[in-house]
């Protein structure tokens, strides 16, 4: 399913819907052909009950999954906002120092912002701690340690900068592993549940209207599954979280401080 993350959202939804609906028709018709003549009134009663229970359970699982993934996405958005606040604070405090180390550290922070905005995470999955993004922060921290201080106020400013850089490094870890495409196990469970639901549906009389209703339900479930899958990869794909707060830091903060 990771291929869907490389496609536009409309095309991804269409593919998911077509796959789900086609699989539904195939399973229903095949099951009806295999066991249709063996279904009794008792089987119909049990099958209808199981169909309703399975359909309700699938809807409940998708609702819980969607809510859970939204919380995860909000966590990343909040971490970016906190990170942006810390970055602009570091930039303002570094501008108070006139040393070469301070200017170099400022440039490293600026590079970090640009790299994050440009989504330069190519080596993040194989070697996350030695990517250009992470190294920019580490080098900035090392440069700040070398900034000379002449009085207590400067020493206090330097301490605050180091604390903020440490906080930025922590916040970066929240996103660092979210750049690897993952298919949640729940997606497989949902598709398995759909197969059982389609099998139970065969106890009903198969006509155009009943298959249409089943198809409409499948379309809804397929769209929800696509959104759950996309939200479970918050930094990849068409629904990825954009670094809007960092863009504001760059255009309204760093760019103005450099003028």
**For 133-151, how does the pLDDT look when each residue is reduced to its tens digit (9 = 90+)?**
788 888 888 998 888 888 8
Q: What is the DSSP letter of 207?
A: -
CA distance 174 to 178: 8
Which of the four pLDDT bands, split at 50, 70 and 90, describes residue 258? low
Tell me the percentage of the chain whose pLDDT exceeds 90. 18
Asked if residue 178 lies in contact with residue 129, where contact means CB atoms within 8 angstroms, the answer is no
- The answer to whether residue 131 scores a pLDDT higher than 80 is no
Which of the four pLDDT bands, split at 50, 70 and 90, describes residue 219? very high
**Greater confidence, 24 or 91?**
24
The whole model's pTM is what? 0.76
Q: What pLDDT does 177 receive? A: 64
Q: What pLDDT does 17 receive? A: 93
CA distance 256 to 88: 11
Segment 159-214, tens digit of pLDDT? 998 898 888 888 887 777 666 667 778 888 888 999 999 999 988 888 889 999 99
pLDDT, the chain, mean: 83
Q: What pLDDT does 194 receive? A: 92
Asked if residue 113 lies in contact with residue 254, where contact means CB atoms within 8 angstroms, the answer is yes
Q: What pLDDT does 24 receive? A: 93
- The answer to whether residue 20 scores a pLDDT higher than 80 is yes
- The answer to whether residue 256 scores a pLDDT higher than 60 is no
Could you tell me which of 27, 43, 38, 1 has the C-alpha nearest to residue 193?
27
Asked if residue 205 lies in contact with residue 211, where contact means CB atoms within 8 angstroms, the answer is no
Domain ranges of the chain: 2-258
Asked if residue 6 lies in contact with residue 181, where contact means CB atoms within 8 angstroms, the answer is no
Asked if residue 235 lies in contact with residue 175, where contact means CB atoms within 8 angstroms, the answer is yes
- The answer to whether residue 126 scores a pLDDT higher than 70 is no
CA distance 83 to 250: 13
CA distance 80 to 73: 11
Give Cα 112 distance to the centre of its chain. Answer: 21
Q: What pLDDT does 5 receive? A: 78
Asked if residue 83 lies in contact with residue 172, where contact means CB atoms within 8 angstroms, the answer is yes
CA distance 115 to 98: 25
């Amino acid at each position: 399913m990771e291929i869907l993350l490389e496609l536009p959202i409309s095309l991804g939804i269409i593919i998911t819907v077509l796959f789900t609906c086609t699989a539904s028709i195939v399973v229903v018709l095949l099951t009806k052909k295999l066991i249709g003549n063996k279904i009794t009134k008792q089987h119909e009663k049990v099958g209808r009950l199981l169909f309703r229970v399975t359909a309700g359970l699938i809807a409940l699982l998708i609702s819980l999954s969607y809510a859970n993934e939204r919380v995860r996405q909000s966590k990343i958005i909040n971490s970016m906002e906190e990170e942006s606040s810390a970055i602009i604070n570091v930039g303002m405090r570094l501008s108070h120092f006139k040393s070469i180390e301070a200017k170099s550290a400022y440039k490293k922070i600026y590079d970090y912002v640009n790299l994050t905005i440009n989504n330069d995470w190519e080596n993040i999955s194989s070697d996350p701690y030695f990517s250009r993004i992470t190294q920019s922060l580490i080098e900035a921290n090392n440069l700040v340690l070398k900034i000379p201080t002449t009085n207590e106020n400067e020493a206090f400013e330097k301490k605050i900068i180091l604390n903020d850089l440490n906080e930025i490094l922590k916040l970066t870890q929240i996103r660092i592993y979210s750049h690897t495409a993952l298919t949640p196990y729940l997606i497989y469970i949902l598709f398995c549940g759909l197969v059982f639901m389609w099998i139970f549906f065969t106890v009903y009389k198969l006509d155009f209207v009943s298959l249409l209703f089943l198809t409409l339900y499948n379309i809804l479930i397929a769209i929800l599954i696509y959104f759950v899958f996309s939200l479970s990869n918050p930094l990849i794909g068409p629904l990825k979280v954009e670094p809007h707060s960092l863009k504001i830091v760059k255009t309204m903060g760093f760019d103005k401080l450099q003028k």
